[in-house]
Amino acid sequence: MEVMREAATFREATDAARAGGSTIGFVPTMGALHDGHRALLRAARTETDRVAVSIFVNPMQFGDPDDLARYPRDEASDLALCEAEGVDLVWAPPVDEVYPLGVELAHPDPGEVGDLYEGAARPGHFAGVLLVVHRVLDIAGPCTAFFGEKDAQQLFLVRRMIEQEPDLRVTIVGCPTQREPDGLARSSRNAALGREEREQAACLFLALTEAAERARAGERDANSLVAVMAREIGATPLARLDYAAVVDDETFEPVGVLDGPSRAIVAARFPSARLIDNVALPEPAG
């Protein structure tokens, strides 16, 4: 496994692999790798010839400096996990390799969807996300990039960015959310939860599951499903609801009536961490 710091060295390595006839599976990460990332790495290993990973905590997507400072970092553990999963190339750059002084970088516009939900809770977040994703994909070169479906709004915006940027020659693959036995979506932020918080954090998946069950049973009123989710999370003592919504899976805009592919999304704050989750809503039975 090769570990690189410089952008140019990483690009030389991916170019060399492509020149040798290999396809590149790229997994951009912010480190603090866990089993959710393992699933992305294994998907990349299955679908491509060579697996590349970036490890970079992106300061441009954090509006709160304290949140950036608290974000978990353990490069040694991350590299050990990558090696165990058969990763070929790791790019772990310093900030000035991602954002070099005097270099004009592309600033993709998240648009109106970028101001909803996560964008409303974290102003400027998606501008920072798209900035760094565009940058690292541009450096990686033509590849298949793997993202988790847990960050559904991010995945939607990245896919739309790639549709608008064909010169990047990147294919985006979304991989299913990985969950703990009680349904909690695996996340780097879970490690910050205290024992009681961790026990109660399952309320997000419970809320989503109840909404999905009602949709399967024939409920098409999105407002009713939102109320169900809000009630479940609101009844959890340590959770404070940020939002609950039902969105069109193809536009990520809110819907009133379920008449096509749709997704339930939630976010809640606990004393030690803020968590998000989502599920695709099923078509009604019969």
Per-residue pLDDT tens digits for 170-189: 999 999 999 999 999 999 99
Angle at 188 between CA 271 and CA 105, to 5 degrees: 110
pLDDT of 270 over the 80 cut = yes
Tell me the pTM: 0.96
The end-to-end CA distance of the chain, in Å, is 51
- Is there a contact between 68 and 57 (Cβ–Cβ < 8 Å)? yes
Which residue type, as a one-letter code, is found at position 229? M
Close Cβ partners of 1 (under 8 Å, ≥ 6 residues apart): 79, 82, 83, 87, 88, 89, 90
Round the average pLDDT of the chain to a whole number and report it.
Answer: 96
φ/ψ bin of 124: left (φ > 0), alpha (ψ from -120 to 50), beta (otherwise): left
pLDDT range class, residue 283, cuts 50, 70, 90: confident
Residue 176 tokens read as 């299913």
pLDDT tens digits, 32-76: 999 999 999 999 999 999 999 999 999 999 988 988 998 999 999
Nearest to 190 by CA among 7, 20, 37: 37
User: Can you tell me the mean pLDDT for 260-268?
Assistant: 97
**Catalytic positions, please?**
37
pLDDT of 235 over the 90 cut = yes
pLDDT tens digits, 11-21: 999 999 999 99
User: Can you tell me the mean pLDDT for 74-101?
Assistant: 97
- Is there a contact between 4 and 134 (Cβ–Cβ < 8 Å)? no
pLDDT tens digits, 203-219: 999 999 999 999 999 99
pLDDT tens digits, 22-34: 999 999 999 999 9
pLDDT tens digits, 108-151: 999 999 999 999 999 999 999 999 999 999 999 999 999 999 99
- Provide, rounded to the nearest whole percent, the portion of the chain with pLDDT above 90: 96
